[in-house]
Amino acid sequence: MLGADALVKTLADCGVTLCLGNPGTSEMHLVAALDREPRVRPVLCLFEGVATGAADGYARIAGKPAMTLLHLGPGFLNGGAYLHDARRAFSPVINVVGDHATTHAHLDAPLASDVEGLVKPLAGWLDAARTSAESGPKAAAAYAGSLGPPGCNAFLLLPADAAWSEGGETSKPQAAPARRAPSDVDAVANAVRAAKKPAVLLNGDALYAEHLEHAARLQAAGVVVFLDTFATRQSRGAGRFAPMRLPYFAEQALAALEGVDLLVTAGTKHPVAFFAYPGKPGELTPENAKRMSLGGPEISSAAAVAALADALDAPRQGFALAAPFAPEAPKGALSPETIATSLARHMPEGAIVADDSVTAGMSLYPMTAGAAQHDWLFHTGGAIGQGMPMAVGAALAAQEMKSDRRVLALCGDGAAAYTLQALWTAAREKLDITFVVFANKAYRILLVELFRTGAGNPGPASNAMLTLSNPTMEWTHLAQGFGVPAMRCETAEDFDRRFARAIAQPGPMLIEAIV
Amino acid sequence: MLGADALVKTLADCGVTLCLGNPGTSEMHLVAALDREPRVRPVLCLFEGVATGAADGYARIAGKPAMTLLHLGPGFLNGGAYLHDARRAFSPVINVVGDHATTHAHLDAPLASDVEGLVKPLAGWLDAARTSAESGPKAAAAYAGSLGPPGCNAFLLLPADAAWSEGGETSKPQAAPARRAPSDVDAVANAVRAAKKPAVLLNGDALYAEHLEHAARLQAAGVVVFLDTFATRQSRGAGRFAPMRLPYFAEQALAALEGVDLLVTAGTKHPVAFFAYPGKPGELTPENAKRMSLGGPEISSAAAVAALADALDAPRQGFALAAPFAPEAPKGALSPETIATSLARHMPEGAIVADDSVTAGMSLYPMTAGAAQHDWLFHTGGAIGQGMPMAVGAALAAQEMKSDRRVLALCGDGAAAYTLQALWTAAREKLDITFVVFANKAYRILLVELFRTGAGNPGPASNAMLTLSNPTMEWTHLAQGFGVPAMRCETAEDFDRRFARAIAQPGPMLIEAIV
């Protein structure tokens, strides 16, 4: 068989069921191979950043990698920002990057670039299948490689002639690599017993619904449980244990950690400020606190927390769980707070929230702690614009799992403008996504940061660089342009009513919230 | 002064007058420095690919670099595809990439990445200003570095603390680097005299209005003059010498070069196929032809061609120039051909064409050879989506030069969907751009290439990956959403009338051409 078929069939044998891509001439045989492999669903994205962001969102819900199909260096570059975010989410993604035929490489044709050099900084696994015979075995290796641990971006470069030549053979799936066991559980347990105010900071599967009980046990044993500011996925809502999210702004994070004399990490590392500020510390662990680690993202934090809870003989009941919170319908002017209230009221059971709401969203997370149970996907790597693509990927995973989980994409207008092409894929694939765009007409976070960094008050250039009015983006037009029905809300009552209706309808819908 | 001010003022002293960007927290002091430097115009882009594509278009018209302002690794990645195209256009661009403070780098915060590693493959010049004292001198070096020769992407990495610290000083502009003189002029002249069918292949300034006469002299001396399929800029239109554009498809290029027994290059290299195809040659120079070069993009091809014309004692008059072509108004169904006819009829004198029209545009170029005089900007690197950003940059250059040149952005719908955020900047900056989107609802070129590569007939997966219907993009909505007035044309008469009106109005306008 052709190398392209060996690659696609091997990935399908490994369990890959989704290909997100935007192919070009050098990937034509891969596209044709997808025609011959019905187990892999092809989903076109109008811009590669949608494909990669969706692959991240898909992995966070499906728990397995999708493949992306990218066209040489420029295809990778267009998708690179959200592979950065995926890397910070430890999401497994298999990026198949087409390249010129090996016989063509030395000619330095217009599209040629150093693909290997470009992808390397984002790669957890990287190889090229330079012949059709290599494409099967390297596909199997890429699948295993994407799983890490921790999950990572695997890049498999495929020259066009390796794809189009005969001599390919499928390769057997490799066993999934084992996760490392947690370290130093007994020593940590001893330190916890000795500490006045012990705390743990979590990321990873300890935050998933089926494992939250272990963290609740720690809290019941007197350990303060935090989660990373931008964790990968957190199951939350009424009746679930709710660790405390470490605040974004460094001074608030320092305040939250005040008095902690032991900070243990599991599935993550010790916390640092998102950005540096003149004269402010970058490390957030209190200076006098002892630092210990059960392991980073390469372990199962759920297993680590369970082991620690057992070692501490922590209680098995009597946990403090999030109380249901069903506020009254909000009234008056629309604001992030009234939107948060509507979310708390109408969160669909089992919803998946893709959060790219930046400043507008600061009240969304706390206000929904007691809403119906849902999963929250965080913006892990700071490359804004991830929200809409991540929602697309999560919804594709939900569709594949035949669950009827509703996805909520919560996006600042500045963020949404990066990747609005995701709307088209949502319409095409009939995805159950409610997009909420917070139209505050500024990179509001940067107006805050201009002040916080001490750069000064905004002058004409700063205003030109940080505000989004003149012209105002009209999100109802933009959504309709990509085939997604849309409406615009200017009052709290209006939003509350329309949001409730939108989430009950199949398919995508966008609400522009004027805040 | 602060390092940020030293950088910005030094670039302004060098002659930089435009900053295209999308900043983040780590660039706040750079933004504030722009407030204090009125010589540099700040232009916000909603997506970094617009900033970089515009920097390319600006350089091609203004003949000097703009600075871009990019936010760490993700900001670079989002802009990377069009820096690839800029690299292939030999456009000078100064990319200032903000990074975490040096004190913050080791903390591996969420946005941290190996910025240097990421940018390296696209860099012609690369350095970091790690202290405020370095920022002035390295800015001056980056300016000179961007000029090459040939022009290139200069990357100046700027950690936040180098920007916000005192101790910066402006640095004197460096002398622009000299271009290398053409090589082997006499030997080439001798070879031309000895050849039966000598030809030259050109790119660079030999194609600019003020230098076209030299190439015309060569043609008058019996040398067939070609230009690269995707040259940087070509001045053309009625009354100008029109070299022959090397066709895109390899078999057509081979036919065009048939019988050539000497192929001399100036400002470029010997031609290669854009892509490899099974069993077809990658090199397009006829096998038995002698190859010679006056120099690559590092020389002035105008100077080289002038020297060769002198060495050949080529005629100084009697050139074959493009005849005016003013066809009748087209009628009936709208098609790429009728649009090309309307372009030929109404091309505004001095227009700048940014061509990203892919298959739809194949008739645009030949049909406008005899239109009013204009400059054509080609899609040099194959990263589609460059058209709208390139048009924005060209229009910013025209505005700065106080010329009233109209810019025409000719874009396939698939290409335009990559970077439609450019429309917002066009509206905000009141740019005189007429955007024409060819709505053929497919990656038409790939349906051609699927066949040409021998991958087969499209099945369901290929159709899913290569067609853009379901849903149909509504470009009038999309344009209006970004503040650009738009209209939709379905007949040749309608397009002809509305296009004539659109190009006469100030500010941007979009026409969706249903083809």
pLDDT greater at residue B455 or residue A153: A153
CATH number for the domain that contains residue B268:
3.40.50.1220
* In a domain? residue A496: yes
B78 shares its domain with B220: no
Distance between CA atoms of residues A324 and A369, nearest Å: 8
CATH number for the domain that contains residue B82:
3.40.50.970
List of chain B residues whose C-beta atoms are within 8 Å of the C-beta of residue A477: 477-478, 480-481
* In a domain? residue B319: no
Q: Print the domain residue range for A72.
A: 3-164
Q: Which among B285, B314, B312, B319 has a CA at the least distance from the CA of B194?
A: B312
* In a domain? residue B221: yes
A95 shares its domain with A244: no
Distance from CA of B333 to the nearest CA of A (A): 24
Per DSSP, helices labelled H in B368-412 are 387-400
> Does B474 contact A at CB distance below 8 Å?
yes
Peptide bond into B149 cis (omega under 30): yes
> Closest chain B residue to A281 measured between Cα atoms?
B104
Which strands make up the sheet holding A290-295, listed edge to edge? A244-245, A224-227, A198-202, A262-266, A290-295
Per DSSP, helices labelled H in A198-335 are 212-220, 250-256, 301-311
B342 shares its domain with B477: yes
* In a domain? residue A501: yes
- Confidence tier at A422 by pLDDT (50, 70, 90): very high
Which of A164, A198, A214 terminates a domain? The answer is A164
Share the mean pLDDT of chain A: 96
* In a domain? residue A223: yes
pLDDT score of A450 more than 90: no
B 95-134 near A (Cβ less than 8 A): 100-101, 103-104, 107-111, 113-114, 117-118, 120-122
* In a domain? residue B500: yes
Say which residue the tokens 């399908």 belong to. A12
Binary contact (B35, A459; C-beta < 8 A): yes
CA atoms within 13 A on the CB side of A426: 37
> Which of B32, B385, B464 lies closest to A455 in CB terms?
B32
Domain count, chain B: 3
pLDDT digits (tens, 9 = 90+) for A66-101: 999 999 999 999 999 999 999 999 999 999 999 999
Distance from CA of A281 to the nearest CA of B (A): 9
**B487 DSSP β-pair partners:** B511
B342 shares its domain with B482: yes
Binary contact (A34, B88; C-beta < 8 A): no
pLDDT of residue B452: 85
A110 shares its domain with A220: no
* In a domain? residue A134: yes
> Does B293 contact A at CB distance below 8 Å?
no
Binary contact (A121, B122; C-beta < 8 A): no
List of chain A residues whose C-beta atoms are within 8 Å of the C-beta of residue B230: 110
Binary contact (B458, A47; C-beta < 8 A): no
A377 shares its domain with A450: yes
Binary contact (A81, B74; C-beta < 8 A): yes
A462 shares its domain with A341: yes
Interface test with B, best of A36, A451, A453, A469 (most B CBs within 10 A): A453
Distance between CA atoms of residues A347 and A376, nearest Å: 12
Distance between CA atoms of residues A435 and A425, nearest Å: 13
* In a domain? residue A128: yes
Q: What share of chain A is helix, strand, coil (3-state, %, to 5)?
A: 40, 20, 40
> Closest chain A residue to B385 measured between Cα atoms?
A47
pLDDT of residue B444: 82
A115: its two tokens = 């693909």
Binary contact (B274, A111; C-beta < 8 A): yes
Q: Which among A407, A366, A377, A370 has a CA at the least distance from the CA of A237?
A: A370
A26 shares its domain with A100: yes
B287 shares its domain with B354: no
pLDDT score of A131 more than 90: yes
B139 shares its domain with B54: yes
A8 shares its domain with A157: yes
By CB atoms closer than 10 A (0-12, 13-18, 19+), residue A281 is middle
Binary contact (A74, B44; C-beta < 8 A): no
B356: its two tokens = 């990203």
Beta carbons of B132 and B30 less than 8 angstroms apart = no
- Confidence tier at A444 by pLDDT (50, 70, 90): confident
Distance from CA of B188 to the nearest CA of A (A): 23
Residue ranges in chain B modelled with pLDDT below 50: none
Classify A151 as helix, strand or coil: coil
Distance between CA atoms of residues B290 and A123, nearest Å: 44
DSSP A394-426: HHHHHHHTT----EEEEEEHHHHTTSTTHHHHH
Q: Which among B26, B59, B31, B61 has a CA at the least distance from the CA of B44?
A: B31
Distance between CA atoms of residues B475 and A244, nearest Å: 45
pLDDT digits (tens, 9 = 90+) for A218-247: 999 999 999 999 999 999 999 999 999 999
B363: its two tokens = 């008739």
**B491 DSSP β-pair partners:** B333
| Pairing mode of beta strands B407-412, B351-356 | parallel
pLDDT of residue A372: 98
* Strand spans (E) along B223-381: 224-227, 233-236, 244-245, 262-266, 290-295, 351-356, 374-377
B219 shares its domain with B258: yes
pTM of the model: 0.97
> Does A91 contact B at CB distance below 8 Å?
no
Beta carbons of A168 and A3 less than 8 angstroms apart = yes
By CB atoms closer than 10 A (0-12, 13-18, 19+), residue B249 is middle
> Does A424 contact B at CB distance below 8 Å?
yes
